[in-house]
Amino acid sequence: MSERDFKEQFWSTFESIDLDKHIILVFSLKFENVSPLKVAEEICVENSTGTWTPVSYETLDIRKEHGAKTIGLYSTHSGDYIIMVAVNSHDYDPERVGLSALLADVAGNVYEIKMIDKIKLLDIFFPRSWLSAFRGPKYGIDGIREMTKTSDQRRPLIGAIVKPNIGLDPRTISVIAYEVALGGVDFIKDDEGFVQTSYCSMEDKVSYVEEVLDKAYEETGKRAFYVYNITADKHEQVIRMAELVRSLGGKHLMISGTYTGFGAVRTLVEDNNINLPIFVHTAGKEAFTRLQDYGISAAVFSKIWRIVGADEVLTSAIAGKFHVDLTEAKRQIIYLRSKLYDFKASFPVIAAGLHPGSIKAACDFTGNDILIFSGGGILGHPMGTTAGAKAMLQAVTAWMENIDLVEFSKGKPELAQAIELWGVKKLIE
């Protein structure tokens, strides 16, 4: 067989492949002074069987069955290209190896191809048969709604972030949690920087916090849930902390997923002894996602977090302090909430620089099924932490009732002072 015969195996059409046996990848490409056909073939080489020179053990049958296939190649008005590549899903057993092995191959060497200047993985489409190995969220949106007693009202959920996010002892954290819980929030969480330390053991933190949350519940009739950060390098340590949280009465977990990895979350989800909701904090994802023409789309990450079982996923700082690409933010929200085979929907989460004056702009964009976390916008309130929590919920009520925020703040000093201090945000400023 000629080299051309082998290269022809890298080409096919969407209609001619078996969609139940292939994973579809969509990339954007930038390159100059090279044939797009050559670029497409090089991507297929690196995403499947080939290497830089022919090897005798790669037969035509192997190339036909296991070679990646370009099933779409499109030029854009800007001179860039979009390529769709199909890879054989049977080469990446979802139970034995899963997403780590898949992504190491299909989102690995392609970023080092010399002839490509910029490449971004825009999307991945998985067959139902491949995803059947994953459990997805245990609770999802409906389960979290039931947990927070908001199934009927379906308002946006509000959570507080403990600040400062490092340096606090367990007693101080419990004081903050109590003050916030009195304000009626749904959640209080560790920040990504606050993990188990020599001065703040997980055991003491959970014990003190759960005690005061029970007290606040008795006083208000509203249950707030603390979200404990169990991020660690070793998966066995993650599991150990999760079991400790559960054993001491904790009811919700958090893990910084970008650097602990998809496997850590999947391990948590598939441990039937834990059975707690999991919030995936995505600190660091912008290192992969922020550039429009290079890296991996944030929507791809959101889709995968849902697949491996995250009940809530941090998306973008909508109407907040950080960079946000609204198109990508919308895709993340859609991928977390829309139908995906039989998986439960995950709660999209927004945070970073949000306060009562951000609520309308954020919720107009996201809709009701959103979890909004605020740190300084609650703990920095001039009337105190409890007032800050109340002001956030008052802003949510104004949005739900479609009442102007400033008008609604009359007679509500918590909301009025928050607006006076921080103003009212627009979606983009």
The reported pLDDT for the residue numbered 350 is 94
Q: What is d(CA 378, CA 147) in angstroms, rounded to the nearest whole number?
A: 22
Q: 50 pLDDT exceeds 80? A: no
pLDDT for 56 equals: 74
pLDDT, tens digit, for every residue of 169-208? Answer: 999 999 999 999 999 999 999 999 878 888 999 999 999 9
At residue 317 the predicted structure's pLDDT band, cuts being 50, 70 and 90, is confident
**If you average pLDDT over residues 54-72, what whole number do you get?**
81
Question: pLDDT tier at 237 (50, 70, 90 boundaries)?
Answer: very high
| DSSP-assigned letter for residue 197 | B
Question: 256 by DSSP, 3-state: which?
Answer: strand
Q: Is 90 a catalytic residue?
A: no
Annotated active-site residue in 163, 215, 235, 330: 163
pLDDT above 90: residue 55: no
Phi-psi region of 284 (alpha: psi -120 to 50; beta: other; left: phi over 0): left
Catalytic residue among 189, 281, 285, 390: 281
Helix (H) / strand (E) element for 308: namely helix 298-308
What does the pLDDT look like over 24-43, one tens digit per residue? Answer: 999 999 999 999 999 999 99
Q: Could you tell me the domains of the chain?
A: 3-131 (3.30.70.150), 140-422 (3.20.20.110)
Our answer to whether residue 344 is catalytic in this structure is no
What is the model's pLDDT at position 306? 98
pLDDT of residue 117: 95
Q: Is the pLDDT of residue 54 over 80?
A: no
Least confident of 219-223, 317-321, 343-347: 317-321
At 373 the three-state DSSP class reads: strand
Q: Is the model's pLDDT at 1 over the cut of 60? A: no
Query: What ranges in 149-261 are assigned the alpha helix state H?
Result: 170-182, 202-220, 235-247, 257-260
Work out the average pLDDT over 402-415.
Answer: 96
Query: In the chain, pLDDT over 70 holds for what percent of residues?
Result: 98
Q: What is the layout of strands, in order, in the sheet containing 69-75?
A: 69-75, 81-88, 22-30, 118-125, 295-296
Among the listed residues 366, 382, 369, 386, the one whose alpha carbon sits nearest the alpha carbon of residue 416? 382
- To the question of pTM greater than 0.85 for the whole model, the response is yes
Most confident by average pLDDT, 4-8, 65-69, 81-85, 326-330:
81-85
Q: Is the pLDDT of residue 18 over 70?
A: yes
Q: How far apart are CA 142 and CA 169, in angstroms?
A: 34
* CB of 250 closer than 8 Å to CB of 243: no
